[in-house]
Structure 1
Amino acid sequence: MVTAQQKPGTSDVTAAVETLREALTAAGIVLPSLGVDEASPSLNLITLGRVRADVALRLADIIRRGCS
């Protein structure tokens, strides 16, 4: 599992994708395009992809509740 203490660029990008996918699934959110961005492997980028407006609003609500 990826922890908040890890420095940017040092995490296993595949594990990060799976951890995020699990958290989103638990919240009832699916990002169909979620995956590893293969274009720049040294940057460990993750593609979140496009989502419908209702999914973006639900995600924003969950994040806000988690931050309060």
Structure 2
Amino acid sequence: MSERRRAAAERLGEAEDIVRVVDESLRELGVALPSLRVDPVSCVMADPQPLIELGRCNLATARRLVEVLEGCRP
């Protein structure tokens, strides 16, 4: 495997790990983002820079997310 492909695979693996951690952390706070994932389009370039897609959610989930974020303010 070339160095470029290895680096791309590492970035993708890191992105997948981050998605898992974000999902677990939010779920512990009562927020589940159903469309949370690595954006596949951002991974198909020659030098991929994976983006995390937070996705779509219903109003109840958005409200819960706001509650959690407001609770984190200093």
Identity of matched residues, %: 32
Q: In terms of Rg, which structure is larger? A: 2
Q: CA RMSD in A?
A: 1.7
**Structure-1 residue corresponding to 2:61:** 55
Partner Cα distance (1:50, 1:14) in 2 = 18
**Residue 40 in structure 1 maps to residue 46 in structure 2:** no
TM-score, normalised by the number of residues in structure 2: 0.70
Query: Post-superposition shift, 1:64?
Result: 1.4
Partner Cα distance (1:56, 1:34) in 2 = 13
Query: Post-superposition shift, 1:28?
Result: 1.3
Partner Cα distance (1:16, 1:67) in 2 = 23
Q: How many pairs align?
A: 59
**Structure-1 residue corresponding to 2:15:** 13
Query: Post-superposition shift, 1:67?
Result: 2.1
Structure 2: stretches of 5+ with no match in the other structure? 1-10
Structure 1: stretches of 5+ with no match in the other structure? 1-9
Structure with greater helix share of residues: 2
TM-score, normalised by the number of residues in structure 1: 0.75
On the 8 A contact 2:30/2:64 being kept in 1, the answer is: no
Partner Cα distance (2:66, 2:29) in 1 = 12
